[in-house]
Amino acid sequence: MMEIKITPQLIAEHGLSQAEYELIEQYLQREPSLVELGIYSVMWSEHASYKNSVKLLKTLPKEGAAMLAKAGEENAGVVDIGDNLAISFKIESHNHPSALEPYHGAATGVGGILRDIFTMGARPIAALNSLRFGNPDNPKVKHLLKEVVNGIADYGNCFGVPTVGGEIYFEDSYEGNPLVNAMAVGVMKHDQIARSAASGVDNAVIIVGAKTGRDGIHGATFASIELSEESEEKRTAVQVGDPFLEKLLLEATLEVIHAGLVVGIQDMGAAGLTCSSSEMAGKGGVGIEIEISKVPQRETAMTPYEIMLSESQERMLVIVEPQNVEQVKAIFAKWDLDAVQIGRVTGDKLLRVLFKGEKVAEIPAETLILGGKAPVYCRESQRPVYLDKLKIFDQAVLPEPDDYNAVLQKLAGSANLCSRHRVFRQYDHMVQIATVVEPGSDAAVIRIPDSDKAIALATDCNGRHCALDPYLGTLGAVAEAARNVACSGAKPIAITNCLNFGNPYKPEAYYFFSEAIRGMGDACRAFETPVTGGNVSFYNENPEGAIYPTPVIGMLGYMEDYRMATTQFFKAASDQIWLLGELKASLEASEYLKEIHRIVAGTPPEVNLDTERRLQKLVLDLINQNLLSSAHDVSDGGLLIAVMESCFAPDRLWGCKLCFPEQIKPSQLFFGEAAGRVLISAKPENRTSIENIAMQAGISCHLLGNVTENGSLAVNDKINIKTQTLYESWWQGLKL
């Protein structure tokens, strides 16, 4: 075995503590080789091992009648939707790579999450994303935004998956550390589900897909450190993707899976060949022996260390029974892809790595993996003292605006509320011709091929709310995602999550993480939406400090009939406009407070989980009884922003005439934010039915006014502004 002197500096360079190195020596009963040190480095990084998060993640609800693959068991979660059909979906981060190489970082984030889906045996039918940037007026932020969007668009469009939804927020805390979270969704039949565990002694281990290069080496370790000037030098940790090759890999992979030729299969994402081989062996309780000189390489003189740690894209590791090896090779050759047997499954539970016949690593597989003997920590948690000061905020001291029209117009064009058309119009959202509801409404709706069934998809999280109160903010994120899906006509059934936080070794950062997990668990139990899996991204910090804690929720909803899909847009003049939920709202922690008064303070909206659950059911009941013309979640920006957005139908601009109660302070009524509210429109003849059903559900129901054709948004004697004027501010607000 190749030997090298292990120094404290070398250990630190590999992101390992001295105690962790001593544990490695204990497991091996000797000093590790350089290759072994590199293997442990990436497998024990936060990105691969979840060593600082797994204890808390285990408290999340993962059980459900529809669950076919639980969180952490496979590459992605799988949920039953009936008639032998299942949905696989997952969201993951590519934050640090996107901060340094925004185009390739975002593109390979999309490629990686798509591979997680089709490695399960599912055909990808939709992609979404959740993005966070700093001040959009900053030239560097504009560059990051443009390149990230280009990377997402180019990869998804070339691969041929519709990018159907997502969200973008701008806050100063993301200035030096943008967030790029990519989500993908696929459909399969129950008998097509592929598993990742290796099994069967002497079964073949085959590497398939692209050739291996030096790109991405130490990517998992790079994703487990804070961004700094020094980390700028780690650009080799950013991979380069090829969507056309991945399209070939998709077809070849599904062909071998659906032909029953695969025993186990895993994507080579973070930590590359190291992660796939060790995890497949560890999950299956077997060993794997590989001769890595046989790995197809696109660069010369690659070392064993480089081959094992490369994160080159568009690669898979496949376990195949010996009699099927030639058939598998032939299928991949048909798609012009490499498929080379590099090893075999053994019964000794060891990951054994050979290079030209020389043993360069031999490690008990279970010591490397999450759920095995990789280190697990519970870090110190401390609530930041400054939160007490931020919560003490009296909205009563805020002066009322002199001109409510001007305030509404300014909010319409503000960074977090304006139109995202300049982004989503770069995405092909109609490829595969199954998109029922396109980007721009509360949730995307995708029809399941050869079926009347459909799914609804949304991503949600208000980082500012989570920064002020991580428990309430995360409750609100899950509730809003569920409301968005319900407003589309679908029943929320499961979530995936992407948990973006600061350095877990800092007690205040760990407090935000632990409280967010508590909030997510409570909300998902209340809504019966189990957590199917996801991703934890720590170390999202820059020299100025940590990002806002951002637990992004990817919500999956299901509807029996795609024709019941509902959008947020008004449909007809004289339709009545209603609010389901309370009129009372607060300016604390709101977009209004930040945008108009430049203040970030107060308590985020309180979330009553029982009320939220009843509201979601009420909306679905009204939709299923054909009583609604539109439904729209009321969230960021408050009630009038929701009304305004409902006026902006794709084919025309509507007006409305509203009459609000005078006893509530206008700014709070117009722009205050509260949880558990949905704006609906309906024909006047449905009024009695709506009121009766809402009363039975125990949900307040307020008639606000009606839709008009006169092109103005009018409220009492306070607001009267042309819809076209609002539309122009909203449409032109975001500049790429």
25 & 56 share domain: yes
Average pLDDT value for residue range 239-261: 91
Whether residue 219 has pLDDT greater than 50: no
Q: What percent of the chain lies above the pLDDT cut of 70?
A: 96
In one-letter notation, the amino acid at residue 615 is L
| CA quadruple 321, 190, 273, 111: dihedral, nearest 10 | 140
Average pLDDT value for residue range 446-455: 94
349 & 212 share domain: yes
Whichever domain contains 209, its CATH number is 3.90.650.10
Whether residue 428 has pLDDT greater than 90: no
- Interval 141-165: pLDDT, tens: 999 999 999 999 999 999 999 999 9
Categorise residue 83: left if φ over 0, alpha if ψ from -120 to 50, beta otherwise. Answer: left
299 & 407 share domain: no
**What's the per-residue H, E or C state across 690-714?**
HHHHHHHHCCCEEEEEEEECCCEEE
Whether residue 193 has pLDDT greater than 80: yes
364 & 401 share domain: no
Please state, in angstroms and rounded to a whole number, the distance separating the CA atoms of residues 457 and 165: 7
pLDDT classification of 218: cutoffs 50, 70, 90: low
337 & 213 share domain: yes
Choosing from 94, 218, 429, 632, the catalytic residue is 94
Q: Give the residue carrying structure tokens 């979906």.
A: 89
pLDDT value at position 235?
41
Whether residue 337 has pLDDT greater than 90: yes
Q: Which residue would you say has higher pLDDT here, 229 or 27? A: 27
299 & 406 share domain: no
**What's the per-residue H, E or C state across 624-691?**
HCCCCCEEEECCCCCHHHHHHHHHEECCEECEEEECCCCCCCHHHHHHCECCCCEEEEECHHHHHHHH
- Interval 57-66: pLDDT, tens: 999 999 888 8
pLDDT value at position 3?
65
715 & 599 share domain: yes
- The answer to the question of residue 474 being in a domain is no
Choosing from 14, 47, 218, 465, the catalytic residue is 47
Of 469, 418, 439, 734, which is closest to residue 606 (Cα–Cα)? 469
pLDDT classification of 636: cutoffs 50, 70, 90: very high
pLDDT value at position 231?
45
Whether residue 502 has pLDDT greater than 70: yes
* Domain containing residue 690: 395-418+566-736
Categorise residue 243: left if φ over 0, alpha if ψ from -120 to 50, beta otherwise. Answer: alpha
Give the contacts of 57 (CB within 8 A, at least 6 positions apart): 50, 71, 72, 517, 536
- Interval 641-692: pLDDT, tens: 999 999 999 989 999 999 988 778 999 999 999 999 999 999 999 999 999 9
The pLDDT mean for the chain works out to: 92
Please state, in angstroms and rounded to a whole number, the distance separating the CA atoms of residues 650 and 601: 36
- Interval 65-80: pLDDT, tens: 888 876 667 778 899 9
Per-residue tokens: 371: 């759920």
Give the predicted TM-score (pTM) of the model.
Answer: 0.93
Q: In 3-state terms, what secondary structure has residue 442?
A: coil
- The answer to the question of residue 667 being in a domain is yes
Let me know: does 548 contact 171? Beta carbons within 8 Å: yes
Query: 190 an active-site residue?
Result: no
In one-letter notation, the amino acid at residue 303 is T
> In 114-253, which ranges are E strands?
123-133, 163-170, 179-189, 204-209
578 & 722 share domain: yes
pLDDT value at position 221?
45
Q: Give the residue carrying structure tokens 């770069």.
A: 426
- The answer to the question of residue 389 being in a domain is no
pLDDT value at position 31?
93
Query: Could you tell me whether strands 204-209 and 678-682 are parallel, antiparallel, or unpaired per DSSP bridges?
Result: unpaired
pLDDT value at position 269?
77
406 & 287 share domain: no
> In 634-676, which ranges are E strands?
648-649, 652-653, 655-658
pLDDT value at position 104?
92
pLDDT value at position 129?
95
Whether residue 48 has pLDDT greater than 80: yes
213 & 300 share domain: yes
pLDDT value at position 2?
53
576 & 714 share domain: yes
Q: What total number of domains does the chain contain?
A: 2
Average pLDDT value for residue range 430-458: 91
730 & 600 share domain: yes
- The answer to the question of residue 207 being in a domain is yes
pLDDT classification of 326: cutoffs 50, 70, 90: very high
- Interval 537-563: pLDDT, tens: 999 988 788 899 999 999 999 999 999
Angle at 448 between CA 446 and CA 452, to 5 degrees: 105
Q: What percent of the chain lies above the pLDDT cut of 90?
A: 81
- The answer to the question of residue 534 being in a domain is no
Query: 104 an active-site residue?
Result: no
- Interval 702-732: pLDDT, tens: 999 999 998 999 999 899 999 999 999 999 9
- Interval 82-101: pLDDT, tens: 999 999 999 999 998 899 89
